[in-house]
Structure 1
């Protein structure tokens, strides 16, 4: 399988692919539409597929390594389990946010190597914000042309715990985690993979995920989080702050569903 080195030039090319895919999404997002389901004719599906095709074409021109995208996920496990490195793509993450038109949806492109995310781009076209992270090299957020380094931050004694969660009803597992924290807690609501980026940028301390996600939902933002000094571990709701928790890994089984996980410093 081909090797790939994420040089600054290649990073810029992948970021450009994500931004251009976002532009294709925005052409549809800015229209007036009333078809909200994911049928073949819905604007959501049209935007999803337009971004998917642009990303796949762009990545194939950069390197001869496999691509796993939400829109082309029917690759047999017998083939996938031989992959050492591959691109992991969600062309439009945050379908509810797209439908609600709140802007909190993203284009996600990750490089997975030996089961671990080593590079990722998370582009939020509606709010003109792009997160980029390369493990062992750092992470940054680019917003309106300004590029700023981001770093995860540890919770300080006496500070309010800022915990990323859903805008809607909290599950019993989340409430159990919140109750177990020492001190005041504040819920920070956000959509799509931007939840992980809030911890990566130091705007939140924790993101416990106890709902279903697929690997393409998290890969790119996971890389950003790691590059910013955060960690993403398998979550046991009964012991959420377990220091020996296993890191979240990719392409380790037939199913592409993630276990519950925690993003923390």
Structure 2
């Protein structure tokens, strides 16, 4: 088993006033040649957007873009004709393919929104752009792994153009669980959303990240506060 530990405090950080953001991997003004990606996982941004502010219209292409609101909700508009609100507890994906233009805004005037923005390299280029959004069932992640993203359509999850699997688990204090990888040759990047504990032999806390390669099963133990964690399994080549 090979592990790569990224403490929360080691992430890139920028505060633009309207946007307070942390970058696990190199992004924008944060560049670290040792942190360019984890296999097909390219971007993991932890964003906090001020009330009434947001990202204006901007383009993307040939990337699978996933958004997961953690606190609050986010308004989305794109040139595919989608005008939606991504609610806390939802997961949204946009396959940029040949090119999309979209905007994201905190439509609330009295509170911030916190969300994860994740980019995954696709397994093919220049696909037809697409949009999908589903509501996750919080009960499915209680002391279990709730798969919320995969490579093909399934109920309660989004799908992307990549052999990738995202799962979220919320584990009670001192609970032990196992993560079993879907494919040989995959790696899994764990991102602790809340709480802490141990992943394998590594102690982890809130917003820490741990990449694991060359393993088939990884043991986790939640600490005294419990642990909610996002597991992002991706091809490493």
Higher strand share: 2
Q: TM-score by structure 2 length? A: 0.31
Q: TM-score by structure 1 length? A: 0.28
The answer to which structure, 1 or 2, has the higher relative contact order (CA under 8 A, 6+ apart) is 2
Higher helix share: 1
